[in-house]
Chain A
Amino acid sequence: MNNDTTTPKPAAEWQLRSVYSTRLFALLAVGAVLLAISAHRSEVDKGLADSGRAIVAVVRGKPESSRVARGWLRFLSHAFPLVIASYEPIENPEEFDPDTLPAFAYRDTKYPIKDTMGDVVRYVDAVVKPIGYLTYVGGLLVQTIEIAIWGTILSVLISIPLAYFGAAGYTPNKFSYNVARAICNMNRAIPELIAALVFAVAYGQGAWAGILALGVHTSGFLGKFFADDIENAAKGPQEALASTGANKLKVLRYAVLPQVMPQFLAYGQYILERNVRSATVLGIVGAGGIGVELNERWKQFDYGHVSTILLAIFITVFILEQIAQRVRARLIGE
């Protein structure tokens, strides 16, 4: 430390390091080789080549010559127009009473029924609701959002004790710290799709299995993020309150919580948003909501219905994001 005997080197002789070292180039080369090997294993090379061929085929005006372009065309040609109407075939025309029709609905004696290729196969006598399918999808989306909200509530409830025991400085001992952190890691590690399947075995298929899966999986994220934030909160105010003899819980409530609240709200908002998206996917394994419908329409090649659902999900996530931003701004209030 105290080297008074050696004369210091003049600044002109100080060693400067070059920005790009040989080691950096060596690392980049190794990385490139590994990525090249992996690209072949993961079919990245094949995918890029197929995409290139598809673009060339479309530019030349012969999309049929490329498998990828054909696939895209098949989906897009049936994805539009969006299907927003619904119909119910009339079984006994003699008993049909026009006065009992719901609002906006009308009778079409020659309603066209199309096959998966978009060709009309037959005509039926049916009651048509012009936005019937849209309102049906809307109802399912509300159900999906409800699952997501309950999943988020459950997630927060699980993550609060995990955060307390997983934050160094508040956890009672090293053992409880490790247990809390391990539970966080485990919850994160189990994909919610798998968790939903497991819960469905116990509770049966439905919304509750989906809620449990979402809550358990995302509590792993929230618990870890909350705990990390508590650990990183400014120490000064905590020391100030601890020095008066306030217990840990009080210090956490008055010196830590006000500091970390904006972050907590941001995490909660993100988890809610991702839960809406995840709840959609969970429907595919039967956990209720829009996913069930999406999965069935997909299997029947009803791409018009599928695109309606996808667009509805996109709009819902967008609107939720806007609402959440506003709520958060109000709560943080700068």
Chain B
Amino acid sequence: MIRFKAARKRFADGTVAVDDLTLEIPAGQFCVFLGASGAGKSSVLKLVNGMVQPTSGRVEFDGIEVVPRTYREIRPRIAMVHQQFNLVLRSTILRNVLAGALPGTSTTAAMLSLFPAELQQKACRLLERVGLSEKHLYRRAAHLSGGQQQRVAIARAFILDPTLVLADEPVASLDPEISRGILQLLRDASRESGTTVMCSLHQPDLAREFADRIVGLARGKVIFDGLPDQLDEEMIGRIYAGARAARETAEDDGPVALGALTASEAV
């Protein structure tokens, strides 16, 4: 269970990414955060694992407050799936999946790349689950298509049996058909293991198709919270109208999205 209590995030440049957010997400829910670029979706997700620290308010994960002191305890239980996949392109597929298990591996073993056979077998099972085969194991991530890379990233996310997966625009750089496949996989995998998913999207049709619950964000504020059936065209219009206004004043996507952009360019 994730709980936000009046959480607020204001970046140094004055952008308010998350504004007075109070929300509860029960265990096992597939919760989609819908909004355009700059609406604050990414920041909401990153508040949960401390990649973004709240300016005020409180964020709790399974009853533990998310503060620097508790990062070590909570981060291994939270996995992340990124818009730009963030695989190490020069490493093999297997190595990329195993890298997700680093917090559970001793530093000495990690430096020597000595992962237990058990863990390696689990990585294989996960890769099979996401639709990859044995021939991919020792191939470099750079040789995979975008959709396949995201599948590897999902396998990496699930290797430590997380209780929560944060999926930050997981399909934003993929075409619609592949996007459906990825979201389907993410939802099915989380259902099988009872994992909670917080997923940010900017496509209303995908949100309606896969979400248990949709939270509509505009300019850092929740303006919709309900079941997929309750999201009507008027509400979608409001979510995006707010975002347009935000973009015109901020002129860019704010520091969070900008960070993701520079990272993708460097690859």
Binding site for B on A (CB under 8 A): 1-2, 232-237, 239-247, 249-251, 253-255, 258-259, 261-262
- Contact (Cβ within 8 A) B88 A258: yes
CB distance from A254 to the nearest CB of B (A): 4
- Contact (Cβ within 8 A) B75 A243: yes
- Contact (Cβ within 8 A) A232 B266: yes
Residues of B within 8 A of A255 (CB): 88, 99
* A233, B160: Cα distance in complex, Å: 26
Contact segment of B202-210, B216-224, B226-234, B257-265? B257-265
Binding site for A on B (CB under 8 A): 49, 51, 71-72, 74-76, 78-80, 82, 84-91, 95, 99-100, 102-103, 105, 107, 110-111, 153, 156, 160, 166, 248-249, 251, 259-260, 262-264, 266-267
If A243-B80, A254-B91 touch, whether A249 touches B86 (CB-CB below 8 Å) is no
- Contact (Cβ within 8 A) B84 A236: yes
B interface: dominant SS: helix
CB distance from B238 to the nearest CB of A (A): 22
Residues of B within 8 A of A235 (CB): 259, 262-263, 266
- Contact (Cβ within 8 A) A1 B251: yes
- Contact (Cβ within 8 A) B107 A247: yes
* A249, B111: Cα distance in complex, Å: 8
- Contact (Cβ within 8 A) A237 B88: yes
Chain B residue with minimal CB distance to A332?
Answer: B90
Residues of B within 8 A of A234 (CB): 263, 266-267
- Contact (Cβ within 8 A) A244 B110: no
- Contact (Cβ within 8 A) B102 A239: no
- Contact (Cβ within 8 A) B111 A2: no
Chain A residue with minimal CB distance to B71?
Answer: A245
Residues of B within 8 A of A236 (CB): 82, 84-86, 260, 263-264, 266-267
Selected from A233, A244, A262, the residue in CB contact (under 8 A) with B103 is A244
Selected from A245, A254, A259, A262, the residue in CB contact (under 8 A) with B75 is A245
Q: Sorted from nearest, which 3 A-B pairs have the closest CB atoms?
A: A245-B75, A236-B263, A246-B102
- Contact (Cβ within 8 A) A244 B90: no
- Contact (Cβ within 8 A) A243 B49: yes
- Contact (Cβ within 8 A) B80 A244: yes
Selected from B86, B166, B248, B259, the residue in CB contact (under 8 A) with A237 is B86
- Contact (Cβ within 8 A) A244 B79: yes
- Contact (Cβ within 8 A) B90 A258: yes
Residues of A within 8 A of B166 (CB): 243
* A1, B250: Cα distance in complex, Å: 8
**Can you list 21 pairs linking A and B with CB atoms under 8 Å apart?**
A1-B251, A234-B263, A235-B263, A236-B82, A236-B263, A240-B82, A240-B87, A240-B153, A243-B75, A244-B78, A244-B80, A245-B71, A245-B75, A246-B99, A249-B111, A253-B110, A258-B88, A258-B90, A258-B91, A258-B95, A259-B89
* A289, B15: Cα distance in complex, Å: 65
Residues of A within 8 A of B102 (CB): 241, 244, 246, 250-251, 254
Selected from B111, B160, B263, the residue in CB contact (under 8 A) with A244 is B160
CB distance from B10 to the nearest CB of A (A): 18
Residues of A within 8 A of B262 (CB): 235
If A237-B87, A244-B79 touch, whether A254 touches B266 (CB-CB below 8 Å) is no
CB distance from B202 to the nearest CB of A (A): 19
- Contact (Cβ within 8 A) A244 B249: no
Sample of 13 more A-B contacts, CB < 8 Å, known A233-B266, A244-B80, A245-B72: A2-B249, A236-B260, A236-B264, A239-B51, A242-B51, A244-B75, A246-B99, A247-B107, A250-B102, A250-B105, A253-B110, A254-B99, A261-B90
* A262, B140: Cα distance in complex, Å: 14
* A254, B87: Cα distance in complex, Å: 10
* A38, B28: Cα distance in complex, Å: 76
* A101, B216: Cα distance in complex, Å: 96
Chain B residue with minimal CB distance to A259?
Answer: B90
CB distance from A193 to the nearest CB of B (A): 37
* A2, B89: Cα distance in complex, Å: 41
- Contact (Cβ within 8 A) A245 B87: no
* A254, B111: Cα distance in complex, Å: 9
CB distance from A66 to the nearest CB of B (A): 57
* A251, B248: Cα distance in complex, Å: 37
- Contact (Cβ within 8 A) B249 A1: yes
Q: Which of A232, A235, A236 has the most CB of B within 10 A?
A: A236
